[in-house]
């Protein structure tokens, strides 16, 4: 017997014979808890289990949601049913995680900061010194594209892995101790696109795409297609064949607001199977 507690276009939160489950984009997760401590267990169809410490008893939590109520975590964050689904989806597959780490999916509201001047873009190699691709990117300080290379230690899991890589990159790119961009990556959605579409030429109408964003930032540069290819050869040294690309919506962070006003906004996650890593590519700017 299945009892639906919450349902929207992405999530189904329910009980099957009294046992809580979350179904997200067709992936099913069984929700249980430790009998002696507040530890939520999330078990996927493959049998892999994640422990979320200092979390919720899923049975009583779903009972409260069924009555239209909310729950509050040990950190003081109040959850409705959708928030709970987002947290569980983010935590799933991460094996062992604290509730405050899982709650990073919601981002943090901070004061909006102004875009850095182009000359400061070179600091990206200092922030992420582990890959030589950043040294190549540093040679193009006038581009307004942000890159983040992410290595995920978990097994590849399609959309969920891309989403987790994006969430990690947001914490790197959007936040710092004093100011940052407000974002809610839980609202981000994506579609899988062909690799050729990511690297497509700029058409006669000069419609906004990745190549256009590189070649034609608001302050015009003299960068060429050869420069674009050089950066991407550094990011993807084994070519386009092993790449899987997701294009994400851009309505979930104020970072993208400027781009929506005029120039454009974009967000991609690119998984390189040959290197088992992700490259996050985002851009947004105005005049």
* More confident of the two residues 262 and 198: 198
Q: Torsion over CA of 188, 199, 262 and 173, rounded to 10 degrees? A: 50
Q: What's the confidence (pLDDT) of residue 66?
A: 93
**Predicted confidence (pLDDT) at residue 128 exceeds the cutoff of 60:** no
Contact present, 10 and 18 (Cβ < 8 Å): no
pLDDT of the residue at 272: 94
Three-state SS sequence of 125-185: HHHCCCCCHHHHHCCCCCCCEEEEEECCCCCCCHHHHHHHHHHHHHHHHHECCCCECCECH
User: Where residue 282 falls among pLDDT bands split at 50, 70, 90?
Assistant: very high
Cα–Cα distance, 96 to 167 (Å, whole number):
17
Q: Closest by alpha carbon to 107, among 190, 41, 187, 22?
A: 187
Domains, the chain, in order of start with CATH, read: 2-106 (no CATH), 118-285 (3.40.1000)
Phi, psi of 66 (to 5 degrees): -60, -25
- In the predicted structure, residue 123 carries a pLDDT above the cut 60: no
R_g (Cα) of the chain, nearest Å: 20
Q: What is the predicted pLDDT for the residue at 64?
A: 92
Task: Give the DSSP letter of residue 81.
Answer: H
pLDDT, residue 287, reads: 66
Average pLDDT over residues 225-252: 95
* pLDDT at position 37: 63
Percent of the chain with pLDDT over 70: 88
Residue 118 has pLDDT above 50, yes or no: no
Q: Which of 79, 86, 24, 33 is nearest to 56 (CA)?
A: 33
Which residue has better confidence, 124 or 238?
A: 238
Q: How far apart are CA 111 and CA 181, in angstroms?
A: 7
Structural contact between residues 184 and 163, judged by C-beta atoms closer than 8 angstroms = no
The token duo for 188 is 């981000």
- Taken in order 60, 160, 248, 144, the sign of the CA dihedral is positive
Tens of pLDDT, residues 143-202: 999 999 988 776 787 887 888 888 888 877 876 544 567 877 777 888 999 999 999 998
Give the model's pLDDT for residue 206.
79
Q: How much is the mean pLDDT over the chain? A: 84
Question: Can you give the pLDDT at residue 199?
Answer: 95
Q: How confident is the model at residue 85 (pLDDT cuts 50, 70, 90)?
A: very high
29 SS3 class: strand
Coil, helix or strand at residue 135: helix
Q: Which residues pair with 6 in a beta bridge?
A: 13
pLDDT digits (tens, 9 = 90+) for 23-67: 998 889 999 987 656 789 999 888 888 889 888 889 989 999 999
């Amino acid at each position: 017997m299945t009892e639906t507690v919450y349902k929207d276009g992405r999530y189904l939160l329910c009980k099957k014979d009294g046992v809580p489950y979350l179904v997200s984009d067709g992936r099913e997760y069984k929700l249980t808890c430790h009998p002696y401590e507040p530890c939520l267990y999330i078990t996927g169809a493959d049998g892999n289990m994640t422990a979320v410490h200092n979390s919720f008893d899923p049975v009583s939590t779903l009972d409260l949601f069924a009555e239209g109520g909310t729950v509050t975590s040990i950190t003081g964050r109040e959850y409705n049913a959708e928030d709970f689904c987002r947290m569980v989806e983010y935590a799933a597959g991460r094996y062992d995680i604290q509730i405050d780490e899982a709650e990073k999916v919601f981002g943090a509201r901070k004061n909006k900061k102004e875009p850095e001047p182009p000359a400061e873009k070179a600091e990206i190699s200092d922030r992420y010194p582990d890959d030589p691709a950043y040294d190549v990117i540093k040679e193009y300080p006038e581009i307004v594209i942000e890159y983040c290379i992410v290595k995920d230690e978990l097994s590849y899991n399609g959309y969920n892995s891309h989403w987790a890589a994006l969430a990690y990159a947001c914490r790197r790119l959007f936040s710092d101790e004093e100011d940052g961009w407000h974002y809610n990556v839980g609202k981000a959605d994506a579609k899988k696109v062909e690799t050729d579409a990511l690297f497509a030429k700029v058409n006669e109408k000069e419609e906004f795409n990745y190549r256009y964003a590189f070649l034609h930032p608001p302050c015009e540069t003299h960068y060429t297609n050869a420069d674009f290819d050089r950066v991407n050869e550094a990011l993807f040294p084994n070519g386009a064949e092993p790449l899987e690309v997701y294009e994400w919506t851009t309505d979930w962070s104020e970072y993208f607001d400027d781009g929506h006003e005029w120039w454009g906004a974009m967000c991609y996650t690119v998984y390189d199977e040959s290197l088992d890593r992700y490259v996050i590519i985002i851009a947004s700017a105005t005049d």
